[in-house]
Amino acid sequence: MKANVSGIPGIPETAADWQALAQKALNEERLSVEEGLAVLEADDDEVLPLLQAVFRVRKHFYGKKVKLNMIINAKSGLCPEDCGYCAQSIVSSAPIAKYPLLEKATLLAGAREAMARQAGTYCIVASGKGPTDKELDQVVEAVKEIRATMPLKICACLGLLKDDQAERLAEAGVHRYNHNLNTSRANYPSITNTHTYDQRVESVEKVKHYGLSPCSGVIIGMGETNREIVEMAYALRELDADSIPVNFLNAIPGTPLEKAGRTPALKALKVLALFRLICPSKEIRVAGGREVNLRTLQPLGLYAANSLFVGDYLTTKGQEAAADYQMIEDLGFEIEVCAL
């Protein structure tokens, strides 16, 4: 299917046009909405020329290096939020493990595992609307010891923070804080009603204020339009998120979105290309759901993205680490072992 914007003067239709968009990105010029839509609605035959152009941008800013991140599900389930995609939410009946915040020793063991997996960034993720002061104490103590003993970048994802909590995480040595926008402003009420899109934006702005590097991304495949995907990329550009995880919905039985279909692999590649073109200098991570959406085309995703999660996600299994290492080697890329 041809892009529905084809034939409009200045809108990409050929390999040369994709290269022109890549040059705009290299110059850090903002793509128009029409250009963004043209990427998402391009004919499937254009995917390889598009990725070739986008790789110029990725290589300019990140060479052939791939950043690896590892998640520890530090607190599972027990969440009062009603996010329709999440197995840990109060509206989910998915059979998952449920436990309070892990002890310090377990968080430290996770950091050592991240090192063993060649991950440069260790992501401490906890379910819930936001951490209690006791939970924050536990995270802070673990982070201090990790920072003192291991060359790891630490990313925390604990929900909405109070000002003093953000300040304490920064003082403890957390490098980055993740709070995803997840979807577009217009689509937000169809995904959750227990918090707002604006609260997510305010959370990202807050951690920036306290010197934490902002990490914020999206989940593709939750009923959003192509125009909304473009708007999501623009929103993250405007937030100046340093790291942008692009997740593709892995529809989990027992969640409200269990019937949602997967994103076609070629569409997923176009989405990754779009985020690279709109946020050219930022870390673009092909994140959750890559295994079930990109499937055999996972390696092509790294021509646009420069980062991925190694190992399992929060409640779903990831690809074996050995397969990720082989994929990176076969591409002629290399792991960026230390992200500091």
- 123 labeled part of a ligand binding site: yes
Residue 79 counted as an annotated binding residue? yes
Specify the amino acid at residue 24: K
Does 86 carry a binding-site annotation? yes
Task: Dihedral sign for Cα 48, 1, 4, 286, please.
Answer: negative
Give the dihedral of Cα atoms 152, 247, 306, 239; nearest 10 deg. Answer: -80
Is 338 known to sit in a ligand binding site? no
Instruction: Specify whether the CB–CB gap between 103 and 322 falls below 8 A.
Output: no
| 157 annotated among ligand-binding-site residues | no
d(CA 90, CA 326): 38
Cβ burial of 163 (10 Å; 0-12, 13-18, 19+) is exposed
168 is in an annotated binding site: no
Judge contact between 146 and 111, C-beta under 8 A.
yes
> Which residue ranges are tagged as binding site?
79, 83, 86, 123, 155, 215, 285
> Which residue ranges are tagged as binding site for [4Fe-4S] cluster?
79, 83, 86
> Which residue ranges are tagged as binding site for [2Fe-2S] cluster?
123, 155, 215, 285
